Amino acid sequence: MTRNTRRNAAAGADDVLTTHGVTVAFAHPTPWEPAQEWACAGADPELFFPTDAATLAAAVAVCEPCPLKQACLELAVARAESGVWGGSLLQDGQVLAAVPVRGRPRRTAA
Ligand code: SF4
């Protein structure tokens, strides 16, 4: 659902209320004007679901100057979100150090 809400955010103004930024503001009122202050407002939603280290770094760089960074991360953890929120990569609300490697797990010696 989170991935879809980010996609919807790019679709039109009627969907803006379902974006992560508005969710943050809704749950954590701030004095900031969303359209001006959310650094991710105009970013490609796919950027926040990185599949490699370079994309993760690009998403984290978008969040870096955001005044909502701390609140965004805390609320995303509370909602058990996945993706990049508040400059951190989450999976089901857990902070990950790196993008998980996909594929079959390595065979380990018995
Ligand atoms: S911290 Fe990042 S994901 Fe959260 S509102 Fe700011 S730019 Fe968007």
Q: Tell me whether residue 54 is in a domain.
A: yes
Q: Is residue 15 one of the residues assigned to a domain?
A: yes
Q: What is the mean pLDDT of the chain?
A: 73
Pocket of ligand 1 (CB under 6 A): 20-21, 24, 38-40, 62-63, 66, 68-69, 72, 85-87
In a domain, 88, yes or no: yes
pLDDT of 84 reads 92
Query: What pTM, to 2 d.p., does this model score?
Result: 0.68
Burial of 33 (0-12, 13-18, 19+ CB in 10 A): exposed
pLDDT tens digits for range 80-98: 889 999 999 999 999 999 9
Number of domains comprising the chain: 1
Residue 83 falls within a domain, yes or no? yes
Q: Which of 66, 67, 89 is nearest to 77 (CA)?
A: 89
- Residue 18: inside a domain: yes
Query: What spacing in Å lies between the alpha carbon of 37 and ligand 1's midpoint?
Result: 9
Which regions of the chain are under pLDDT 70?
1-37, 106, 109-110
Residue 104 in any domain: the answer is no
64: containing domain:
2-96
Q: Which of 55, 64, 72 to mutate to test the pocket of ligand 1 (most atoms within 8 A of CB)?
A: 72
Do the domain assignments include residue 43?
yes
Tokens of 68: 């909502």
